[in-house]
Amino acid sequence: MVAPNPQPLGGNSMPRFGGIASFMRLPGTTPVGDLDVAVVGVPFDLGTSNRPGARFGPRGIRAESVLLRPYNMATRAAPFDSLVIDDVGDVATNPYNLLDSVARIEDHYRGLLSNDLVTVSMGGDHTIVLPILRAMAAEHGPVGLVHVDAHTDINDDMFGEKIAHGTPFRRAVEEGLLDPARVVQIGVRGTGYAADDFDWSRQQGFRVVQVEECWHRSLVPLMDEVRTQLGDGPVYLSFDVDGLDPAFAPGTGTPEIGGLTTIQGMEIIRGCRGLDLVGADLVEVAPAYDTTGNTSLLAANLLYEMLCVVPGVVTRA
């Protein structure tokens, strides 16, 4: 008899406001070597350019995730029946040193990935995707990317610094971590410095979907095209919560109006089913700017939707 997979603690076993505050009230005790999926927190915000506070993202997301139940009523995915999934806690970032934190994050993910698992990460500001992609590429080679964001995050530098939350995808291309023809950036918008601000991405071969192409419509057809573009190779999903409109996700550091809806965000993630997803993240949640907790609640639900599209998750009628 094989031991059952770890399961979220149900609301009839312990009230939802009780128990240890792991993601979805998972036990948090599974040996890493037994895992198919590791849920990881990266409490880090030294790379933010405006409002700080994403260091509290993992804690906020875990707190709001208590309301989540294990079965997806829409897609019928049953991730906890299918796979061994647990919360493995946080990376010990260095709150006094950005570059040391980036090194620590990469080391931590290299260790996790050596166990042949998928990581689903709670940020943290978007700087964290660079060390995560370094570890991903070391394990899988250059990866495809689904990047949801108000911003392309391809600046050459910020205030003269090469590593910050607005530069990770420029560094990732330079370092050969991405397969540029298999990259899509969705939801980018807002004010810029020059008309060609998004063109560097396009010159690399990325598909850039500005938010105006998404307004007033379902993103199911877009994701059909994205799955064709990204094909069979390994894919990483990086979801900056500011890709959604600040009406839905005000708790973030660099909000931009006219963003994606919650429903469109769900369509993007559900549309990743069938891709060879090797990792995913939800970044830039800064709970202090949202007195309702709604941004963290949204993030927790989107992370759950990511768990539902990991390869190997089966549906249950």
Distance between CA atoms of residues 151 and 192, nearest Å: 10
Phi/psi at 119 (nearest 5 deg)? -105, 140
Task: Name the residues that contact Mn ion, by CB under 5 A.
Answer: 126, 149-151, 153, 240, 242
* Residue with Cβ nearer Mn ion (165 or 270): 165
**Distance of closest approach, residue 126 Cβ to Mn ion, in angstroms:** 4
**Distance of closest approach, residue 168 Cβ to Mn ion, in angstroms:** 8
The per-residue b/e assignment along 184-222, b for 16 or more CB within 10 angstroms, e otherwise, is bbbbbbbeeeeeebbebbeebebbbbebeebeeeebeeb
**Distance of closest approach, residue 167 Cβ to Mn ion, in angstroms:** 10
**Distance of closest approach, residue 145 Cβ to Mn ion, in angstroms:** 12
* Residue with Cβ nearer Mn ion (83 or 173): 173
Tally of helices (H runs) and strands (E runs) in the chain: 9, 8
Burial class of residue 116, CB neighbours in 10 A (0-12, 13-18, 19+): exposed
* Residue with Cβ nearer Mn ion (49 or 294): 49
In the chain, beta strands by DSSP E: 37-42, 85-90, 118-123, 143-148, 178-188, 207-210, 234-240, 276-283
**Distance of closest approach, residue 153 Cβ to Mn ion, in angstroms:** 4
**Distance of closest approach, residue 240 Cβ to Mn ion, in angstroms:** 4
**Distance of closest approach, residue 317 Cβ to Mn ion, in angstroms:** 38
CB under 8 Å to 55, separation ≥6 — which residues? 43, 44, 45, 93, 95, 124
* Residue with Cβ nearer Mn ion (86 or 153): 153
Name the residue type at position 21: A
* Residue with Cβ nearer Mn ion (88 or 128): 128
Closest CA to 265 of 191, 213, 187, 210: 187
* Residue with Cβ nearer Mn ion (125 or 267): 125
* Residue with Cβ nearer Mn ion (243 or 271): 243
**Distance of closest approach, residue 300 Cβ to Mn ion, in angstroms:** 19
* Residue with Cβ nearer Mn ion (24 or 244): 244
Please check whether residue 62 is in contact with residue 19, taking contact to mean a CB–CB distance below 8 angstroms: no
124-to-132, 176, 239, 305 alpha-carbon distances in Å: 12, 23, 12, 19
Distance between CA atoms of residues 24 and 16, nearest Å: 10
